[in-house]
C-alpha cells in the first residue's frame, strides 16, 4: 500500500515536471515565432518605405501586375478587360503559371498571375502598378470548394485514378497552361480528384447505384468530401484559410520568399501573431492602383474602367503617335534600301501591322465603349462557364452547386469559415473602406468634369452679345428645319418608289 502511494507521488512529480518542460518549450517556440513574424514584418515595411511601388499610386506605371486572388472573378477581368486593353505581345510570358523568370529582362506591360506579392521582389518596384480584387471570405471559401470538386469531377470519365493521371499528363502541351499547372489548383484538384475516385470505388464495393438527393450538396458523404470536413483538413489550413491575406502579404506556399513557410506556419499555429501580417497586407492594399470587390460587380467594373482603363487607353494614344513617327522613319529607310530586299518589305509590313493595331485600339476604344465591350464579353463568358460547370457536375449527380444551394449551408459551418478566416474577414472590411473612398473620388471627378464642360459652354454663350446669340439660334433653327425637310423628302421618295414597283 505504501509502495503504491510512493509510485503515485513519483508519477505525479514526473507529470508536473513534464508539463513544466512542455510549457517552457511552448514559450520558447512562441518566442521564436514572435521574433520570426516581427522580423519579417519589419523587413517588409522598411523595404516598401525605401522602394515604394511608385510615388503616385493613382498613376499607371510601365508594368501592371494583376495579383489575382483565386475565385474573386479575376478571370473575367483578365479576359473581358485586360485582354481588350493590351495586345498579346504586351503580356508577360506564362501568365497564371508559377513564374520563375526575371521580368526585368522582358519588355512586357501586363503580368496577370496567381503568384503572391512576393513576386514584387523580381519586379522593378518604381515602374510597377499593382491591382487586385477581394471577395467576402465566406463566398470565396465556398467557391474554392465548389471549383475544386467541379474540375476534379471532369476526370470521373476514366475507369480509375491511374488512367485519369496518365491522361492528364498526356493532354498537357508545351507552352499551354493547364488548370493543373496553376496555383492553388495544382494542389487542390489532384487532392479532390483522389477523394472522388476513392468514394466512387467505395460505392461500387457497397453496391450503391443511386444516391438520394438530400438537397444539400455540401454534405453528401458517399459522393464527395463534406464541406465541414474539407474545411478542417491540413490542405485547407495551409492553402485556403486566410488565403487572400497570405497572398497579398506574399506568404503562400507558392511564395518566392525563403522565410514564407516559417512565417505562415507561426501565424497558423499562434493566431495572435496574425496581426502584423494583416497590417502588412492592409498597407499593400493602400498602395495599389486599383482594389475591386467581387460583390460590388458593376461599381467595381466602372471604377476599373475609369481608373485603370482610361490610363491604359491614354498610354496607347501616346504610343500611337510614337508608332506613327517610327513607321514614317521606317518607310523612309525602306525607300533608300534595295527594292528587292525581302527583309525590308517584311520590316515595313510588320511595322504597319503593329501601327494599325495600336490605331484601332486607341481610335475606337473609349471608357464608355470599354464598358460596353466588357458587358458583352462577360455575358458570353458566364454562359460558357455555366455550361461547362453543368457538364462537369453531371458526373457527381445529384450534387449540384448554385446560389440557392448555398443557403443550405448551416450557420455553424458559416461561422466555422469566418473563424478560420479571421484575417481575411478584417482585410475584406478594410478593402471595402478603400473601395468606397476611391469610388467617391472618381464620382467627384466625373461630376467636376461635367460641371466644367457646362461652365465652358456657358462661357461661350456668355461672351456673345444679344445680337450674336440671336444669330446663332437662328442659324441652328434653320439647320434643324433643313434637316427635317431632307428627311421628309427622302421619306416621300421611298414611298413613291414602292408604289411604282
Res. 126: pLDDT tops 80 = yes
**What's the first-to-final CA gap in the chain, in angstroms?**
126
Active site residue 125: yes
Highest mean pLDDT among 9-18, 267-276, 397-406: 267-276
pLDDT at 13 (0 to 100): 53
Residue 139's pLDDT band (boundaries 50, 70, 90)?
very high
What integer pLDDT is reported at residue 7 of this predicted model?
63
Helix/strand/coil for 292: strand
Give me the pLDDT at residue 499, please. Answer: 42
239-248 average pLDDT score: 98
Confidence class for position 491, pLDDT limits 50, 70, 90: low
181-225: per-residue pLDDT in tens? Answer: 889 999 999 999 999 999 999 999 988 766 666 678 999 998 999
Residue 36: is its pLDDT beyond 60? yes
Kindly report, residue by residue over 375-410, the tens digit of the pLDDT: 999 999 999 999 999 999 999 988 899 999 999 999
Tell me the pTM. Answer: 0.77
* Annotated catalytic residue within 146, 150, 426, 438: 146
State the chain's mean pLDDT as an integer.
Answer: 80
Alpha-carbon gap, residue 479 to 472, rounded angstroms: 11
**Whole-number pLDDT of residue 66:** 96
CB 395 within 8 A of CB 360: no
Judged against a pLDDT cut of 90, whether residue 64 lies above it is answered with: yes
The string of DSSP codes covering 465-501 is -HHHHHHHHHHHHHHHHHHHHHHHHHHHHHHHHHHH-
Predicted pLDDT of residue 330: 41
Cβ–Cβ under 8 Å, residues 263 and 291? no
pLDDT above 50 for 176: yes
pLDDT band for 337, please (50, 70, 90 cuts): very low
Tell me the per-residue pLDDT of 431-478, one tens digit each, with 9 for 90 and over: 999 999 998 988 887 665 555 544 454 554 455 566 665 666 677 777
Bigger pLDDT: 286 or 441? 286
- Phi then psi for residue 420, to 5 deg, are -70, -20
> Which helix H or strand E contains 111, and what residues bound it?
strand 110-113
pLDDT tens per residue, range 74-119 = 999 999 999 999 998 888 876 554 444 455 556 789 999 999 999 9
CA distance 357 to 359: 5
- For residues 255 and 122, give the distance between their C-alpha atoms in angstroms, rounded to a whole number: 12
- The dihedral built from the CA positions of residue 341, 345, 350 and 352, taken in this order, carries a sign that is positive
Instruction: Residue 392: name the closest of 133, 196, 105, 195 by CA.
Output: 196
DSSP codes joined into one string, 200-237: HHHHHHHT-------S-GGG-TTTS--HHHHHTSHHII
Average pLDDT over residues 336-347: 36
Q: What pLDDT sits at residue 213?
A: 61
In this predicted model, what pLDDT tens digit does every residue of 217-239 receive, in sequence order?
999 998 999 999 999 999 999 99
β 128-134/110-113 pair status: unpaired
* Residues 6+ positions from 286 with CB-CB distance below 8 Å: 57, 434
pLDDT recorded at residue 482 = 75
Confidence of residue 122 (pLDDT cuts 50, 70, 90): confident
Q: What is the pLDDT of residue 489?
A: 64
Report pLDDT digits (tens) over 312-332.
Answer: 998 877 665 555 444 443 433
Query: pLDDT at position 294, please?
Result: 97
CA distance 131 to 70: 14
pLDDT at 88: 86
Can you tell me the distance from the alpha carbon of 157 to that of 22, in angstroms, rounded to the nearest whole number? 51
Residue 21 banded pLDDT, cuts 50, 70, 90: very low
Looking at residue 480, its pLDDT comes to 76
Check 75, 83, 94, 125 and give the catalytic one.
125
Residue 58: what pLDDT? 87
Amino acid at each position: 500500500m505504501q509502495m503504491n502511494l510512493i509510485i503515485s507521488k513519483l508519477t505525479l512529480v514526473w507529470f508536473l515536471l513534464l508539463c513544466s518542460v512542455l510549457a517552457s518549450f511552448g514559450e520558447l517556440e512562441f518566442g521564436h515565432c514572435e521574433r520570426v513574424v516581427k522580423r519579417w514584418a519589419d523587413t517588409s515595411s522598411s523595404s516598401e518605405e525605401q522602394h515604394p511601388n511608385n510615388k503616385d499610386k493613382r498613376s499607371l506605371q510601365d508594368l501592371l501586375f494583376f495579383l489575382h486572388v483565386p475565385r474573386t472573378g479575376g478571370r473575367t477581368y483578365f479576359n473581358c478587360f485586360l485582354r481588350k486593353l493590351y495586345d498579346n505581345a504586351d503580356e508577360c510570358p506564362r501568365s497564371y503559371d508559377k513564374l520563375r523568370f526575371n521580368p526585368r529582362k522582358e519588355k512586357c506591360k501586363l503580368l496577370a498571375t496567381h503568384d503572391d506579392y512576393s513576386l514584387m521582389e523580381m519586379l522593378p518596384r518604381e515602374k510597377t502598378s499593382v491591382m487586385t480584387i477581394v471577395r467576402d471570405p465566406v463566398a470565396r471559401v465556398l467557391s474554392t470548394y465548389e471549383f475544386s470538386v467541379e474540375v476534379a469531377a471532369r476526370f470521373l470519365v476514366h475507369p480509375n485514378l491511374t488512367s485519369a493521371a496518365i491522361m492528364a499528363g498526356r493532354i498537357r502541351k508545351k507552352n499551354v497552361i493547364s488548370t493543373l499547372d496553376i496555383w492553388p489548383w495544382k494542389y487542390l484538384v489532384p487532392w479532390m480528384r483522389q477523394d472522388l475516385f476513392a468514394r466512387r470505388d467505395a460505392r461500387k464495393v457497397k453496391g450503391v447505384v443511386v444516391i438520394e438527393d438530400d438537397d444539400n450538396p455540401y454534405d453528401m458523404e458517399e459522393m464527395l468530401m463534406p464541406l465541414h470536413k474539407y474545411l478542417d483538413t491540413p490542405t485547407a489550413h495551409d492553402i485556403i484559410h486566410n488565403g487572400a491575406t497570405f497572398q497579398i502579404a506574399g506568404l503562400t506556399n507558392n511564395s518566392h520568399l525563403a522565410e514564407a513557410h516559417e512565417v505562415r506556419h507561426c501565424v497558423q499555429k499562434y493566431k495572435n501573431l496574425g496581426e502584423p501580417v494583416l497590417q502588412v497586407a492592409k498597407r499593400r492594399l493602400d498602395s495599389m492602383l486599383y482594389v475591386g470587390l467581387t460583390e460590388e460587380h458593376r461599381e467595381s467594373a466602372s471604377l476599373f474602367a475609369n481608373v485603370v482603363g482610361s490610363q491604359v487607353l491614354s498610354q496607347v494614344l501616346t504610343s500611337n503617335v510614337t508608332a506613327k513617327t517610327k513607321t514614317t522613319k521606317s518607310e523612309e529607310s525602306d525607300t533608300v534600301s534595295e527594292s528587292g530586299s525581302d527583309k525590308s518589305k517584311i520590316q515595313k509590313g510588320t511595322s504597319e501591322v503593329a501601327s494599325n493595331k495600336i490605331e484601332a485600339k486607341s481610335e475606337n476604344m473609349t471608357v464608355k465603349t470599354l464598358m460596353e465591350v466588357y458587358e458583352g464579353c462577360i455575358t458570353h463568358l458566364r454562359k460558357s462557364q455555366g455550361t461547362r460547370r453543368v457538364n462537369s457536375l453531371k458526373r457527381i449527380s445529384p450534387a449540384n452547386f448554385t446560389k440557392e444551394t448555398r443557403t443550405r449551408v448551416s450557420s455553424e459551418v458559416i461561422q466555422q469559415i469566418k473563424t478560420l478566416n479571421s484575417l481575411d474577414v478584417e482585410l475584406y472590411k478594410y478593402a471595402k473602406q478603400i473601395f468606397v473612398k476611391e469610388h467617391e473620388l472618381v464620382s467627384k471627378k466625373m461630376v467636376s468634369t461635367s460641371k466644367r464642360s457646362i461652365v465652358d459652354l456657358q462661357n461661350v454663350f456668355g461672351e456673345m452679345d444679344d445680337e450674336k446669340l440671336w444669330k446663332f439660334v437662328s442659324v441652328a433653327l434653320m439647320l434643324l428645319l433643313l434637316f427635317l425637310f431632307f428627311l421628309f423628302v427622302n421619306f416621300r421618295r421611298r414611298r413613291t418608289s414602292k408604289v411604282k414597283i
